[in-house]
Each structure stands twice: as structure tokens, then as C-alpha cells.
Amino acid sequence: MPATVIAVQLYGWTQPENFPNRPPLIERLDEAFAAIKRAGIDNVEWDTSWAGDKRFVAALERHRLGFPASYSGGTFHIEAEAPKSIAAMAANARVAKELGVSVINCNPAVKPGGAEKTDEELAVQAKWLDACGAELKALGIRFALHNHSPEMRSGAREVHSWMSGTKPENVWFNADVEWIHHGGGDPVAMLELYGHRTASLHVRDAVGTTWVQALGDGELDFPAIVAVLKRKRFAGPISIEHATMAGTKITRSFEENHRISRDFIRRVFGV
């Protein structure tokens, strides 16, 4: 079972509002990783394929950062594309496992414009998601599905299709509590349903659907979220995923916001 560890999802570190990316992040890893360590965080989550990049691996080693969870995509609702997605993910997973990855979070590809998938497409997708999960399970890695807003449409129809159409031993949930909220759902209710299958967590805060700088600055009910996770005996990586959108007010450095959020998790989550 993966341990409960705190990580930083690096997406926000690619946004110029937070961390100017000229040159790009791959060439500024030392600067970013040093800031993450100063914020009191000892792990990162990023693209699974970067496990094969010597620059990334060397930077992890220099800064003594763990890599417990990674992030991948893939097309699973199209029969002709799904086997290729599984093959690519499995190849990257074999390399990432050597760096300590125990959970691969995956957001299945959306349709153009974010249109809802048909019942037939959801059935095809579930079949191939289960196959992918079985392949990663054989490697000792949990395959956890990540939600954004499109999957929350029509009462989280797609999320429910993931969970009902796959075997619990093969497919897990990467619950992004803000995206659940952002898409009109209730994170507490979702975790009541799927907390027992939640392998990893993404955390960010918001006021309405506008992202705020740090955990505790917004309106998400994290004490209630934590209560459900404890009842469901959650254990897995918790990734802080701060990012900026139109309307986000920036008054502190990105490093400081991560330090504040790390302290918040220590107080509220108890880890």
C-alpha cells in the first residue's frame, strides 16, 4: 500500500505567472526544486515520461526529492488508440517504478470541445482502462483516474462509469477535490462513494470556481474531506497542485504559498 506522503504537482511551476519559464522548467529544475524543499516538501509529481530524462532524475537526486506519483494521459474511448496508450504508459511505468513511483494518475483523453462521451464510448473506455490498470498492477503500480470538469458533467456520469465499469483491484481514483467542486460536485459526497478506491489526492482551494493562492484561503471544506478519508482509511500521495487562472489574486511568492499549504496539511490532515 502506498504511504501517505506530501508532494508538489509541478503543473503550476510551468505557468509564467508563478515561476517564469524562460528557459523552460526542465532547464530550471534546480531553482524550482530548491524552492519546494525550502517550503518543507520532500516529493514531486510530474509527467511519467520524465522518469526517462536524465536531467530530471539527476535533479531529484541532488535535492533529495521523492517521486511517489506521476501523471499520464491516454486515449481509451477509441478502440484503435487504446492499445497504443497502454503500451506507452506501461513502458514509461517500468522506468518510473525504478524512481519510486507507486501510483500513476491518469486523466483519460476528452473529446474535442470537451463533449460528453456516448454510452458506447464510455463502455469501450472502461474496458481499456481496466486492461491498463491490470497491466500496471502487474508492475506493482496503482492506476488512478483523475477528474477535471468535463468528467463531472451530468452528475459526474463519466467518473461513475470509470468506477462501475472497472475492477477495484485494477482501477483506482485520483480524487482532485477542487476539480470535483469546480465541476459542480461535492468532494465529500464523491469520497463517500469512492474513498475506498482513492489511491491519491490532488488538493487546491478556491472561492467559487476561482483558484486561490494557498490551502485555507478558499471555501473548500477540508476538515470534512479529511474526516471521510480517515473513515475510508486512505493512504497514498497527496499532491499540492497550486495554479493560476483568470481572477486568481497573487500577493505572495509561489514558494511561500507552498509553505503555507504544507503547514495547512500538517494541521488539518495530520500528516
pLDDT tens for each residue of 31-68: 999 999 999 999 999 999 999 999 999 999 999 999 99
**Count of domains observed in the chain:** 1
152's CB contacts (< 8 A; 6+ apart) are: 158, 159, 179, 180, 182, 183, 184, 185
* Dihedral in degrees, nearest 10, Cα atoms 130, 135, 139, 141: -20
- As to burial, measured by CB atoms within 10 angstroms (0-12 exposed, 13-18 middle, 19+ buried), residue 144 is buried
- Is a pLDDT exceeding 80 seen at residue 1? no
Q: Is residue 172 part of a domain?
A: yes
- Is a pLDDT exceeding 70 seen at residue 259? yes
Query: pLDDT confidence of 139, banded at 50, 70, 90?
Result: very high
- As to burial, measured by CB atoms within 10 angstroms (0-12 exposed, 13-18 middle, 19+ buried), residue 3 is exposed
- Is a pLDDT exceeding 70 seen at residue 238? yes
The domain of 166 spans 6-268
Q: Is residue 243 part of a domain?
A: yes
Q: Is residue 44 part of a domain?
A: yes
Span 89-102, mean pLDDT?
98
Phi–psi pair at 137, nearest 5 degrees: -60, -40
Share of the chain above pLDDT 70, in %: 99
Q: What is the pLDDT of residue 43?
A: 98
Share of the chain above pLDDT 90, in %: 96
Span 170-197, mean pLDDT?
98
pLDDT tens for each residue of 150-166: 999 999 999 999 999 99
Q: Is residue 1 part of a domain?
A: no
Helix, coil or strand: residue 171: strand
Q: Is residue 22 part of a domain?
A: yes
- Is a pLDDT exceeding 80 seen at residue 21? no
Query: pLDDT confidence of 114, banded at 50, 70, 90?
Result: confident
Name the residue among 132, 145, 253, 137 with its Cα closest to residue 197. 145
CATH code, 132:
3.20.20.150
How far from chain centre, in Å, is Cα 240? 9
Q: Is residue 130 part of a domain?
A: yes
Q: Is residue 129 part of a domain?
A: yes
Query: pLDDT confidence of 23, banded at 50, 70, 90?
Result: confident
- Is a pLDDT exceeding 80 seen at residue 262? yes
Mean pLDDT of the chain: 97
Query: pLDDT confidence of 22, banded at 50, 70, 90?
Result: confident
Q: Is residue 252 part of a domain?
A: yes
